[in-house]
Structure 1
Amino acid sequence: MSRNILVVAESRGGSLRNVSYEVLTAAKRVADGGVITAVALGSDSPGYAESLGAHGASRVYAVTNPELDTYTTDAYFQALYQVIQEVNPDAVFMPHTAIGKDLAPRIAARLGVGLISDVVDVEVRDGQVVFTRPIYAGKAFEQRAVTAGTMFATIRPNNLPIDASGSTSAEVLPFTASCKDLRTVVKDVVQKMAGRVDLTEAKVIVSGGRGVKSAEGFAPLQELADLLGGAVGASRGACDAGYCDYSLQIGQTGKVVTPELYIAAGISGAIQHVAGMSNSRIIVAINKDPEAPIFQIADYGIVGDLFEVIPLLTEEWKKVLTAV
C-alpha cells in the first residue's frame, strides 16, 4: 500500500539538522512507492532541496516567508498547516525536538488526528505501520498503530540510521504562506552556546555529575569530548550546584539523548538522569563508589577517581587515533 508522506525538515544556523534526514528515513520505510514531500521553512529553504532530495524527498515545498526565519509558534503553525492542507498527505513526520514538541500537538489538534510522539523505530508489519516509543521514562516500550485517518508522528533524534540513497533531483515548489495576526514577533536572538556539538545529535557524550566538584572540573571532560568529536553533558545535580549551565542537563527534566557512546563521570545514576540516557548504545560509568546505581545500567564500569581516569582515557584515545 503506497503512502504519501510529508516530512517537516528542521534547520539551525542555515543548515539542516541531522534529525531531518532521520525523519526521511522513517518516511522511506513506510512510503512503499508513495511520494515523499519535504517542507522547509525560512528564507534559506530553497537551498535545502538538493540535500533533502539526496535523502529521499521527491518534492520540496520551500516556504520562504521572512517571518519563518526564526521560530515562533504562531508563524510556523500557520505555515505548516497551510502546507498540509495543500499536500493532503497520508502521514506527517517531523523531528521530536523542542520545535517539534511545541508544534506537533497543535497541528494534530487542528487536524483532529492523534499524535504518536517520541518515536524511536518505525516498521511496516502485515501492511500496517507500527511505531515504537518509550514509556515510563524509558523503562519499557510500547508499539502503536494508526488504524484510520492521517498518521502524525515525531521522531526522536539519533535513533534511525540516515539513508542517503535518494534521487538528488527533488522538485522545488515555492510556497508563500499567509502568516496573519502573529502574537509573537522575535526582534533579536541572544543565543548562549550549550556546547560545540548539539547534545541531542551527538554520537559521543561525556557527562559529569556532582563528582566533578566545580566548573573547572568539567575541563578534562570537555577535552575528551573534543577529542572524540562529541559533546559534554551534565546531571541535574551538577547544574543545580552551579558547575555548568542548565542547557547541558540530561535527564527527565532535561534533554533525552541516545548517543553511540555515553561516558558518565561522577554521576551516581539517579532515576531522573537515567531516564534521559538509558537508551544509549554503550554506557561507560566512572565513579568512586562501587555501589553507585549507575553501574547497574552501564555496559562498562570503572571504579575510580574521574580526575585520574578521564586523563588516562584521553591519553589512550590520542594514541589510538594517532595510529589510525
Structure 2
Amino acid sequence: MSILVYIEQSEGKVKKTSLEAVSFAEALTSKTNEGEVIALALGSIEDSELAQLGTAGASKVLHASDPRLDAGVIQAHASAIAQAFSKVGAKTLILAKSSLGDAIAARLAIKIKAGLVSNVIGLPDTTSGYKVKRSIFTGKAFAETNLTTENKILAIKKNSVTLKTDGANASVEPLEVTLSDSDFASKITATERATGEVLLPEADIVVSGGRGMKGPENWGMLEDLAKTLGAATGCSKPVSDIGWRPHHEHVGQTGVKVAPSLYIAIGISGAIQHLAGVNSSKCIVVINKDPEAPFFKAADYGIVGDAFEVVPKLTEALKAEL
C-alpha cells in the first residue's frame, strides 16, 4: 500500500507547497507503515526536476507527460489522478491546499469515494480512529475531523510542514493514462498571472505596506527591502482601493491570504480584516510610528519608529549581512 502525492508545478518547476506535501506523506508513512511515497506529476516537466522530489521523501515519481495536461484542466487532472490512485493501490492521497488543489480534491473525493479534509496542519492521530487536525476560521481556531472512509484525501496547509531535504533523488517512471474528450469539455481560454519577481501566494517572505507609506511614490524602499530578502510585496486593502498598488497585492480577509515564514508589515495599523489574512504567518514583524497600532498585539517583533527612517537602515543592514 502506498501514499500518492499530487504534484503541482509552475513554469517547469515543482511548487514548494508540493514538496511540503511529499514531506508530510513521508512522515505519515513512517507513522502508519503505509508503504512508500509515490509522487504524481502531470504535463510537461523535465524528469531531472521531478527526480528532486526524492529529497523531500518520495520513493519514486510517476509522470503522465500528456501535453494536454499542461493547461491544468480540473476534470482531466482529476481523471488522471484517479487512475494513478487505482494503479498504485493507494488508500491515501496527499496534495497541497491551493486553488487548483481544492477544485481537484473535491472532484476526486467523489471519483474515488474518499473522505476529504482540507487545511490540514498535522499528522493524523491514529491511536483511536483517524483524526485529522485542521485550521479553521482563517487560522483563528482548530478542528479535529474523524475520517471513517477507507480512501482518504488530505490537503495540506502551506508552511505547516517541516520540509525534508536530505533524501536521495527519486526514480521517474512514465505513466500512461486514458483521457477522453469529456475530460477536456472545459477549456481554459486565457490565464492572467500576477506579476513580480516573487508571487505573493507562493512567497516565503512578504513585505507589505499600508497608508503609512503616504503615497505610491514611496513604495521603492519597500521593493528594495523585498528584493534584498527575496520576498514578495503586499499591501493593505485601503492601499489597493485607492490605486496605490495593484489589487493582486491586497493581503487580507477579502484579498490574498498568506502564510509565509516571515511577514513584515510597514505602516499598517492592523485592522481585523488584514490580520485575518496574515495570522497564519510563522513570524510577524511590525514597523509603525504609532505605539498604539493594533498590529503590535499580533506581532512577534515590533519597531516603533518612522518607516522612512527604519526601512532604509534595515535594508542597508541586511545587504551588509546577506
Structure 2, unaligned runs of 5 or more = none
Q: Structure 1 residue 47: deviation in Å? A: 4.1
163-172 vs 34-43, which deviates more? 163-172
Q: Structure 1 residue 152: deviation in Å? A: 0.7
Task: Tell me if structure 2 keeps the 8 A contact 1:7–1:37.
Answer: yes
Secondary structure at 2:187 match in 1: coil
Give runs of aligned pairs for residues 304-315 of structure 1, distance below 5 A. Answer: 304-315=305-316
User: Does the C-alpha gap of structure 1 residues 165 and 313 become closer, same or farther in structure 2, counting only changes over 3 Å?
Assistant: closer
Q: Structure 1 residue 12: deviation in Å? A: 0.3
Q: TM-score, normalization: structure 2?
A: 0.90
Q: In 2, distance between residues paired with 1:136 and 1:75?
A: 31
Aligned pair 1:20/2:22, yes or no?
no
Secondary structure at 1:39 match in 2: strand
Q: In 2, distance between residues paired with 1:243 and 1:76?
A: 38
Aligned residues: 318
Q: Which runs of 4+ in 1 moved over 6 A?
A: none
User: Counterpart of 1:158?
Assistant: 159
Q: In 1, distance between residues paired with 2:149 and 2:192?
A: 44
Q: Structure 1 residue 82: deviation in Å? A: 2.3
Q: Deviations over 1:117-144 (max 9, x none)?
A: 1122225553765433221221122233
Q: Deviations over 1:12-71 (max 9, x none)?
A: 011111111100111011113412111100022644431122322223221111111121
Pick aligned residue for 1:185 from 184, 187, 201: 187
User: Counterpart of 1:133?
Assistant: 134
User: Counterpart of 2:27?
Assistant: 29
**Which amino acid in the other structure matches residue 264 of structure 2?**
I
Secondary structure at 1:115 match in 2: strand
User: Does the C-alpha gap of structure 1 residues 83 and 180 become closer, same or farther in structure 2, counting only changes over 3 Å?
Assistant: farther
Q: Deviations over 1:239-286 (max 9, x none)?
A: 212121222222223332222221101112122211121122221112
5-14 vs 306-315, which deviates more? 306-315
- The CA RMSD over aligned residues, in Å, is 2.2
User: Counterpart of 2:5?
Assistant: 7
User: Does the C-alpha gap of structure 1 residues 130 and 217 become closer, same or farther in structure 2, counting only changes over 3 Å?
Assistant: farther
Q: Structure 1 residue 11: deviation in Å? A: 0.5
Q: Structure 1 residue 187: deviation in Å? A: 5.1
Give runs of aligned pairs for residues 1-324 of structure 1, distance below 5 A. Answer: 4-32=2-30, 33=33, 34-44=35-45, 46-126=47-127, 130-181=131-182, 182-186=184-188, 189-193=191-195, 195-321=196-322
**Which amino acid in the other structure matches residue 59 of structure 1?**
K
Q: In 2, distance between residues paired with 1:51 and 1:128?
A: 34
**Which amino acid in the other structure matches residue 42 of structure 1?**
G
User: Does the C-alpha gap of structure 1 residues 303 and 284 become closer, same or farther in structure 2, counting only changes over 3 Å?
Assistant: same
Q: TM-score, normalization: structure 1?
A: 0.89
Task: Tell me if structure 2 keeps the 8 A contact 1:29–1:124.
Answer: no
Q: In 2, distance between residues paired with 1:224 and 1:17?
A: 24
260-269 vs 122-131, which deviates more? 122-131
Q: In 1, distance between residues paired with 2:59 and 2:320?
A: 45
Q: Deviations over 1:99-121 (max 9, x none)?
A: 11222112113333321111222
Q: Structure 1 residue 6: deviation in Å? A: 0.6
Q: In 2, distance between residues paired with 1:223 and 1:288?
A: 20
**Matched residues, percent identical?**
37
Secondary structure at 2:181 match in 1: coil
Task: Tell me if structure 1 keeps the 8 A contact 2:83–2:177.
Answer: no
**Which amino acid in the other structure matches residue 249 of structure 2?**
L
**Which amino acid in the other structure matches residue 79 of structure 2?**
Q
Q: In 2, distance between residues paired with 1:161 and 1:114?
A: 25
**Which amino acid in the other structure matches residue 184 of structure 1?**
S
**Which amino acid in the other structure matches residue 110 of structure 2?**
A
Task: Tell me if structure 2 keeps the 8 A contact 1:64–1:176.
Answer: no
Task: Tell me if structure 1 keeps the 8 A contact 2:43–2:67.
Answer: yes
